[in-house]
Amino acid sequence: MTIPNADTPIRAKASSEVARCLRCIMPADYPEVHLDADGLCNFCRAFDAYWKSWMASVEQQARSEAELRAILDAAKRKKRPYDMLIGLSGGKDSSYMLYLCREKYGLNVLTYTNDSGVLTPEAKSRIEKLVKRFQVPHIYRSEPMFAELTGLFLRKTGNFCTVCELSNYNFGMAILREHDIPLCAVGSSSRTEAGAPKFLNPWDPWYFRKVLQGEPVRGRIRSSCFSRNYVVRDGVDKLFGRSRILVLPDYVPWDEDEIGDLFRRELGFEFGEEHSDCRFYKVAEYLYGKKYRGHHPKTAKLSLMVRTGMMTRENALEEIRSAGIGDPIKGLDAFFEFTGVTAREFESASAKTPAPYLGGMSRVFNLARKKIRRQAG
């Protein structure tokens, strides 16, 4: 058995080995991808259904920003201490959300960060600069069980991102209620982000509880940030038009290159790779790569960039040909120390998926979530 170490690469398949969508670069055997008779993938079809006319129409974009302004004005009229809550990771999307809300829309903003041990020093430095530059109050919160649960989920499901996703969400929803804030901004739009397929990165409460079934930690969960079921509450609010969650990129243009240039010019920021605010994103990337049937995790993001016109298909193919070949798993030893997972346990876990813990409620919830968030997978 091969025990992975700091020199273990992600072995992405060469582009010549697989059939791909004729428009983007999604492979035919990538999870949840289907090619139609014209050689186009379902992700491209879904993107066109949701976003093609919006991206091509200045009038539609103007109407959506007018709608956004109306939502924000309604929040201001409530006269609460804060109009908006933003979770700051030190990454590009959250930084730009803060910029828009403060500089463009003049909102009173409260910010928060989940600092449970995975933030990089660079991310923390950016957060400090953002808070100072935009003169906003900021809350750091941490979950004492974070490292323990990260190791537990990795061992049982081959995925540890669940713990971070759900704790980030629950921290935000708790703060939103504690301070009676009208809105919470998020940057994960289907037009700008290509996340992992939900069955490979679920974080609904039913899945969470099923993974913990029979584990001795369950009794301590009641005093953790995982004790409340905010996902379901907010899902119900969404159905009745009461949701406080505002997906900002759904309303306004969101050009990553321009955002990078803006912060480089005004604050001297260099954001680095996507998700590089996490100490263990390369570990997660390696694990996802094994579950993507040998395809590099960058594939979905590069495909999205082709759909949005930010990159040519040829350039995306060229980048995926060289992506990850020979790259080490950065942070693996630190991950072992953080979670208590051994190299042998990691190797065994890397072949596992969340599938055995996805019950009927999880599947229904994730199908509904994909529809609400306008995602193909």
Render pLDDT for 138-176 as a digit per residue (tens, 0 to 9): 999 999 999 999 999 999 999 999 999 999 999 999 999
| pLDDT of amino acid 327 | 61
What is d(CA 139, CA 151) in angstroms, rounded to the nearest whole number? 26
- Show the tokens assigned to 248: 């900002």
Report whether pLDDT(11) > 60. Answer: no
Report whether pLDDT(231) > 90. Answer: no
| pLDDT of amino acid 328 | 65
Domain boundaries, the chain: 15-372
CA separation, residue 344 to residues 10, 162, 336, 349 (Å): 18, 22, 11, 9
Pair 245, 186: CB distance under 8 Å: yes
User: 3-state class of 278 per DSSP?
Assistant: strand
Average pLDDT of span 26-48: 95
Tens-place pLDDT, residues 341-367: 999 999 999 999 999 999 888 888 777
Tens-place pLDDT, residues 260-287: 999 999 888 888 888 889 999 999 999 9
What is d(CA 104, CA 253) in angstroms, rounded to the nearest whole number? 13
Instruction: For residue 4, name the pLDDT band (cuts at 50, 70, 90).
Output: very low
Report whether pLDDT(224) > 90. Answer: yes
Instruction: For residue 324, name the pLDDT band (cuts at 50, 70, 90).
Output: low
| pLDDT of amino acid 377 | 63
| pLDDT of amino acid 183 | 97
Burial zone of 329 (CB within 10 Å; 0-12 exposed, 13-18 middle, 19+ buried): buried
Instruction: For residue 306, name the pLDDT band (cuts at 50, 70, 90).
Output: very high
DSSP secondary structure letter of residue 225: T
Q: How many CB atoms lie within 10 A of CB 122?
A: 15
CA neighbor of 178 nearest in space, from 98, 113, 110, 105: 110
Element (H, E) at 72: helix 58-77
Report whether pLDDT(210) > 90. Answer: yes
**Contacts with 363 (C-beta within 8 Å, 6 or more apart), sequence order:** none
User: 3-state class of 376 per DSSP?
Assistant: coil
| pLDDT of amino acid 62 | 97
Side-chain half-sphere exposure of 208, counting CA atoms within 13 A = 25
Tens-place pLDDT, residues 170-181: 999 999 999 999
Tens-place pLDDT, residues 71-80: 999 999 999 9
Average pLDDT of span 90-98: 95
| pLDDT of amino acid 219 | 85
Instruction: For residue 109, name the pLDDT band (cuts at 50, 70, 90).
Output: very high
Report whether pLDDT(47) > 60. Answer: yes
| pLDDT of amino acid 275 | 83
Angle at which helices 92-99 and 256-267 cross, to 10°: 70
| pLDDT of amino acid 214 | 93
Q: Letter for the amino acid at 376?
A: A
Check residues 293 and 159 and name the one with the higher pLDDT.
Answer: 159
Query: What architecture does CATH give domain 15-372?
Result: 3-Layer(aba) Sandwich (3.40)
Return the beta strands (E) in 52-166 as ranges: 84-87, 109-114, 138-141
CA neighbor of 228 nearest in space, from 277, 187, 169, 285: 169
What is d(CA 143, CA 128) in angstroms, rounded to the nearest whole number? 20
What is d(CA 83, CA 85) in angstroms, rounded to the nearest whole number? 7
| pLDDT of amino acid 234 | 75
**Contacts with 163 (C-beta within 8 Å, 6 or more apart), sequence order:** 146, 149, 150, 153
Burial zone of 114 (CB within 10 Å; 0-12 exposed, 13-18 middle, 19+ buried): buried
**Contacts with 127 (C-beta within 8 Å, 6 or more apart), sequence order:** 88, 89, 90, 113, 138
Q: Which residues pair with 35 in a beta bridge?
A: 41
What is d(CA 202, CA 377) in angstroms, rounded to the nearest whole number? 12
Residues in the chain: 377
What is d(CA 26, CA 19) in angstroms, rounded to the nearest whole number? 9
Percent of the chain with pLDDT over 90: 72
Check residues 359 and 377 and name the one with the higher pLDDT.
Answer: 359
Report whether pLDDT(1) > 50. Answer: no
Report whether pLDDT(325) > 60. Answer: no
